[in-house]
């Protein structure tokens, strides 16, 4: 389930990066963060399927919490990177 959430996040950021106008928000960073998580979970899903478990799991409520964490954690990481970049640019401008 959280694999799908990460994939959705990556696709949303990818669309914003390609078609969005606010380039200063560096949507590509969000696409990379969520895309990397989705890719890593894809390997996890494949490993689960090889081990005889279902490819996608929908364990409620654990998966809901992880899905929520995926969104919050990914956006937090993206925000932290943007803030760091902004502070560096501000320092360099001085």
Partner 1 sequence: MACFTVTTVAAIGVGVARHIVRHNEKKVDPTKVDPIKLDTLPVSKKLGMLELGLWGGSFILAGEHVIHGEVTFTFPWLTAVSEGPDAVKEMLFEMGTVGVGMLAIIVGIWGIGLLVRKLLLKRKAKLAKE
Residue 34 in the binding site for partner 1 (CB under 8 A)? yes
Q: Select the residue interacting with partner 1 from 24, 55, 73, 84 (CB under 8 A).
A: 73
What tokens were used for 48? 């689960």
Q: Minimum distance between the CB of residue 47 and partner 1, rounded to whole angstroms?
A: 5
Cα–Cα separations (whole angstroms), residue 41 to 22, 29, 37: 29, 18, 6
Report, in Å, the least distance between residue 79 CB and partner 1. Answer: 12
Sign of CA dihedral 58, 62, 35, 20: positive
Structure tokens, 8: 């959705």
Binding site residues, partner 1, CB under 8 A: 2, 6, 29, 32-37, 39-44, 46-47, 62, 65-66, 69-70, 73-74, 77, 81
């Amino acid at each position: 389930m959280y694999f799908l959430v990460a994939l959705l996040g990556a696709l949303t950021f990818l669309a914003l990066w390609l078609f969005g106008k606010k380039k200063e928000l560096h949507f590509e960073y969000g696409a990379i963060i969520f895309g990397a998580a989705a890719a890593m979970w894809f390997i996890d899903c494949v490993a689960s399927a090889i081990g005889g478990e279902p490819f996608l799991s929908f364990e409620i409520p654990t998966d809901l919490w992880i899905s929520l964490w995926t969104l919050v954690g990914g956006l937090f990481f993206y925000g932290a990177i943007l803030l760091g970049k902004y502070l560096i640019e501000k320092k360099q401008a001085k």
